[in-house]
Chain A
Amino acid sequence: DGGITQSPKYLFRKEGQNVTLSCEQNLNHDAMYWYRQDPGQGLRLIYYSQIVNDFQKGDIAEGYSVSREKKESFPLTVTSAQKNPTAFYLCASQRFVGGTGNTIYFGEGSWLTVV
């Protein structure tokens, strides 16, 4: 089945550690996105990528980093500089950025907890 796979589903991070969340899509989409969701709130954009080897900061990029070496993969690293990383992280993809009828597809998310 085509779709977006996020792993791991649950991740625990110790203070001062970097952790990486995986996002893989087999939809042949050019655009990929990372969002953060805090309990009881909507999503906020962390980073996005319109094409391989290119990515842009979103609204809350501080303390995060990404790479886009392959079309199907867009991993997110939560660095020790992110002071409040506990949240639900969602990856999404789109055939390309924008355009009527161009549906955005979401993965099932990853929970990150600081211990």
Chain B
Amino acid sequence: AQSVTQLDSHVSVSEGTPVLLRCNYSSSYSPSLFWYVQHPNKGLQLLLKYTSAATLVKGINGFEAEFKKSETSFHLTKPSAHMSDAAEYFCVVSEDNAGNMLTFGGGTRLMVKP
């Protein structure tokens, strides 16, 4: 069985300050891990993915995430927030990168203040 916990349902930052969105997972195998972003009333866009290669993964729009097996974490970070980063972010775990085997976290809503 696999599960994902996003530790914060809402995160608020000021523009230009760092972003940290936390994600912990559990899995009985070596999982693939993903972060997706969803803007209001839109579909999901892939930010980055970890598939057992480098543990520090760089994604689009300046985001990156570090896979820490000992802590079962996959936190998403960005050095400097932009107003356009305001959205819902989902951490996702999958046994095999298969769309029928994805387990979604509950989501973190990121708010960016001017």
Q: Which residues of chain A have a CB within 8 Å of any CB of chain B?
A: 4, 9, 31, 33, 40-45, 48, 56, 58, 88, 90, 92-94, 97-104, 106-109, 111
B42: chain A residues at CB < 8 Å are 108-109
Instruction: Decide yes or no: A100 and B104 within 8 Å by CB, A106-B43, A109-B41 being known contacts.
Output: no
Q: Mark B30-55, 1 if CB is under 8 A from A, else 0.
A: 00100000000111111000011000
- The closest CB in chain B to the CB of A102 belongs to B97
A97 touches B99 (CB 8 A): yes
Query: Which 8 residue pairs of A and B lie closest in terms of their CB atoms, listed nearest first?
Result: A42-B104, A106-B43, A98-B98, A98-B96, A33-B99, A106-B44, A48-B100, A108-B43
A43 touches B99 (CB 8 A): no
Q: Which residues of chain B have a CB within 8 Å of any CB of chain A?
A: 4, 9, 32, 41-46, 51-52, 90, 92, 96-102, 104-107
Q: Which of B4, B100, B105 contacts A56 (CB 8 A)?
A: B100
Can you list 26 A-B contacts with CB-CB less than 8 angstroms, sorted by A residue number? A4-B43, A9-B41, A40-B106, A42-B92, A42-B105, A43-B44, A43-B90, A58-B100, A88-B41, A92-B43, A92-B44, A97-B100, A98-B97, A98-B98, A99-B96, A99-B97, A100-B32, A100-B52, A104-B46, A106-B43, A108-B42, A108-B43, A109-B41, A109-B42, A109-B43, A111-B41
